[in-house]
Structure 1
Amino acid sequence: MSTTFQISPDEVHRALDDLDPVELVVAELTGKKAPERSFVVGPEAGLGVGLAEKYLVVEEPSSATRFLLPLGALQAVRGACLASAAARVFVPPGAATVSVLGSGISAELLLRMAVRYVVDVSHVAVCAVGGSVEEIVTNRVIDELDLSGISLAVTSEIAEAIFGANLVGIAGKSAVNIKIDQIARGAVLVNCSGWDLPASVVDGVATVYVDNLGLIEENLHRYFVGVHRSSESGPAARRRQEYHSHRIAGDLRGLLSGDHIVRAEPEGIVLVEMLGVDTLSTSLACQLMLAAHRLGLGNVIQDSAP
């Protein structure tokens, strides 16, 4: 007999406290992950349409135990971990002021990972876009901010939230109408939303990086990718030539593995676009499953014969 446990998004948060998700995600992105134990990871037709569309099955054959992990939470965790890794690369040493724009669990996780894994965060400002503040600034986030001695400001105005911030993170399912003149010089702008930022923002940054250059061909519809690949002639091309650095300078995969060197832009804004917002980390899923098992998390939903 095999036992199936269904994990809630809240339990994903609890399991994250039992491991270092940033290290796992970075190791997988750079190809340096440690060998995994024997797991079976993937969709499960037997779950039915309702569950199969929302959960990833992680099974450990040796224990005849499988866990259903919420897809949305897994994707949000991976994006938030890469955003924290990007901050380590691009945000200079010293006090970091963080602004989080967005909604839902994606923005909450972005905030949590920044608090836990970005060095020297002194202040956080949050603006809910397309959702409620309560979805982002949860009790667990407030507790972590208090324990870390980090001040918090909540506002309904984007300009107020990002004023003076040297790290701006965007997450959620809604487009964010941010303006280039609202962003501080030398700031790092990390877009985990999967939505295009306004063209004026893309045209106004100094440098663009992505998480993985291998995903460019799958994202030809994105504005900044079009700028990168454009070979047209005429006034539009001349305008883009003025922003020659808008060509994508590299990716986190290369920077974190040491294959690429960060292009110095002390006064310019760095834009980091996460193309793999729907990508799942197999390594993270397996370790979350083990953490959930250790902590006794999950609701038993079925017992079935092997």
Structure 2
Amino acid sequence: MNRMPLRSLAAVAVLATACALGTEPQITESLLPAFQSVPPGFSNATSSFAGDSATGNPEWGPQGRHGGRGHGPGRGMGPGAGFGSFMMGGGLGGLFMGHGFGPGFGRGRHGDLRYLPGDCDYDSSSGRVVCEPETRNGLTITRSAAYYDADGQLQTGFDSLTTNTINLQIGVSGTRIRRDGDTSTLQHASDRTVSGLAPGSTQRTVDGTSAGEETTVGTNDQGHFTALRIIGDTIQGVVIPVEAGTRIYPVAGTVIRSMQATVTYDGQDPVTSSRREVITYDGSDTATIVITHDGETKTCTFTLPRGRLACP
């Protein structure tokens, strides 16, 4: 299956290793707001993060000396807020919480993935349906899809009778001047495969990756800074029943999510905070999530569908 390169995945792999080894034993609370949302434009990609960067949420940036620029919904969280109070990136996407696929495949924020938006044509050299780039709010979005039947044979487009697997690839890039006057450079990509779409299938399997990078350069009352936020996930064999009258929450598979935030002021050492969440589905109505934040690890759970995060 032809896949586009995800340049940011290397950074995410480094992040996952750093989280496994641990960094500082105490959570860097000043950077907690960075984990409450997703970078601008990231919601155009497919991922397990529920945050919608198109809804006008506050843009993340470092606080100044007087706490006056702590953008993001996590501002003001008290000690210990790193565990038990939230899942990063705006939460866990509905597909992975038990909301199901809905009446079609992939309906919702990303549309019906059987039919790509915009001007799209089959490209015989790549074996993919490729769409013309779309530019919106300073960001360029590219999309392409590949379709396969149950025998793994490539198709030139979606066929409601024979298509069993869809692979969707999305890229997002650009530079934006933020409302506060700072400049953010963005580079995101996602690659998702869903199988089990053929008529008569009783379950669908989701695999994929996403990776994003946001670099912001600006000034506050503490000085000139560079803020870097890295986000990504890996979805491995997540199985979701679709047969009428059955459970629609995931019954197998793993979702690995990572974020890292780093702020560097001119002439000062960088300050970094990292978070990793590993969600495991075992067929029961309780999912396990292992959270590692700045080297400290806790094992939590949430009840499916739509349960709240519970940590000891």
Task: Compute the TM-score of the two structures, normalised by the length of structure 2.
Answer: 0.25
Relative to its length, the structure with more helix (as a share) is 1
Higher relative contact order, structure no. (Cα contacts within 8 Å, ≥ 6 residues apart): 1
| TM-score normalised over the length of structure 1 | 0.25
